[in-house]
Amino acid sequence: MKTRRPISINNSLSHGICNYNCTLCGVNKKTYKGPKEFQPKELTEKLIARIEEAARQGLRVRYVANAGDGEPTLHPDFGARMDLFGAMIRRWNAPNVPAPEVSVVSNGFRLLSPGVLDAIVRNDLTLIVSFPTPNPEAYGQIMTGNPENGRHLLDQVVQGLQKAFKLLAEGHLKKMQFHISPPDRDIVRRDFNKTVHFLTTLANEAGVKDIEMVLFPATSNRSGLIRNRTKGLDLYKDFFQAYRRWNRHNGVLVSLKLSYQRFFPHFKEFLDLLRGFNYPCTWNSQIFLTAQGDSICCNDQAVRNPLGNLTSHTLVELMEEKEAYLPGRVCAGCDQSPRHMSGSFRSALFGWLAQRKLAWTKARTPECDSGRKCLAALHLEPVHADH
């Protein structure tokens, strides 16, 4: 494996199964033809064994998110699965490799369902809630495509947040973050001040003195399942200006982060991606697992192009599959490829370097002289949503 940076894992505990129907997500759409299944227990156990095995081999897994392409708290054994991750953290003894941070990424609707918050608290996990806006109509629009649903959904989510903030203030919940997501950019931008005001008010009422919010620079088209209306990256520089770390809002410190900073906290980790991957696509740079352990790129929600499986491959081998990957039909229908990166000098430079790396690889790969896989990559023919 060429990669030397710590890696992250996104685990689909409930793949293709969700109680929401976000407009930017392929799950619950007619065009979605991927799996709809909960992760079997053996698979979760295998994942944990693979993480421990990787640590013994010197590969650091920095972060495990129980998120993926569905709502994890819907899993019928959610509590018991979180206990498996909690046990992994408690018994961790790999020399020189710290235990990964383990999180649950939820839309927040089931926080008050029996056992959900308890499981997160007793296992010292991080709770991440997707919260794009406090405006009921806009929330309903983003989360279900229907503004009228927003009030009912938000009422339920906010009650759960109040409980979670209270647990945080009392020191029971280890950490909580907000994803300002799904990133419907027009609404996120329009409502951002209200979102900060709303969340800091809830935090202040519970006695929490700082909150973390994560912004998403890109909207994804999920490899053709969903069309992306917004082009380029938005790094939200104006928000970072307005909400400086040392300013309090409603008596609460607001910490903003961009989503990629979690996966690439240091610039040199982007260089590692450029060096190690034939096709350095940021969305294919970490491990994304389906419920059955297929390794996919972040945007391959319908699992059209698995790159190995957790049951037969170690994490090192899965990363090697990703490093060797050359783009084909699935990438052709995706607007998140490096060639679409724009919005800042750094992202455009990264996109340009990534394309140069791909061209360099092809020039040195004999099968690329006539190989169909490489021709598809060169011509990038579009793949439609119903494929």
Q: List residues near ligand SF4 by CB under 6 A.
A: 18, 20-22, 25, 27-28, 69-71, 107, 182, 223, 281, 283-284, 297, 299-300, 327, 330-331, 334, 336-337
Q: In terms of CB distance, is 192 or 283 closer to ligand SF4?
A: 283
Q: In 235-344, where does DSSP find H-type helix?
A: 237-242, 260-263, 267-276, 315-324, 329-332
Q: What is the largest CA-CA distance in the chain?
A: 65
Pick the closer one to ligand SF4 by CB: 55 or 188.
Answer: 188
Closest contact distance (angstroms) between CB of 338 and ligand SF4 is: 7
Residue nearer to ligand SF4 on the CB measure, 76 or 171 = 76
Smallest distance, ligand SF4 to C-beta of residue 16, A: 9
Q: Least distance in Å: CB of 323 to ligand SF4?
A: 12
Q: How far is CA 9 from CA 44, 56, 126, 294, in A?
A: 12, 17, 14, 12
Kindly give the residue spans of alpha helices, DSSP state H, lying in 92-131.
116-122
CB of 321 to ligand SF4, least distance (A): 12
Q: What is the DSSP letter of 34?
A: S
Cis peptide before 100 (omega within 30 of 0): no
Q: How many residues does the chain have?
A: 387
**Which residues make beta-bridge pairs with 214?**
179, 257
Closest CB 49 distance from ligand SF4, rounded Å: 26
129 backbone dihedrals φ, ψ, rounded to 5°: -115, 130
CA angle, 213 then 218 then 15, to 5°:
80
Q: Which is nearer to ligand SF4, 123 or 336 (CB)?
A: 336
Which CB atom, from 126 or from 220, has the smaller least distance to ligand SF4? Answer: 220
The residue among 22 and 374 lying less far from ligand SF4, judged by its C-beta, is 22
Q: Measured between alpha carbons, how far is 149 from 167 in angstroms, rounded to an integer?
A: 28
Q: How far is the CB of 99 from ligand SF4 (least distance, A)?
A: 26
Residue corresponding to tokens 């917004």: 230
Dist. CA 235–CA 140, nearest whole Å: 25
CB of 300 to ligand SF4, least distance (A): 6
The DSSP code sequence of 33-63 is -S--EEPPHHHHHHHHHHHHHHHHTT--EEE
Q: Which is closer to ligand SF4, CB of 337 or CB of 347?
A: 337
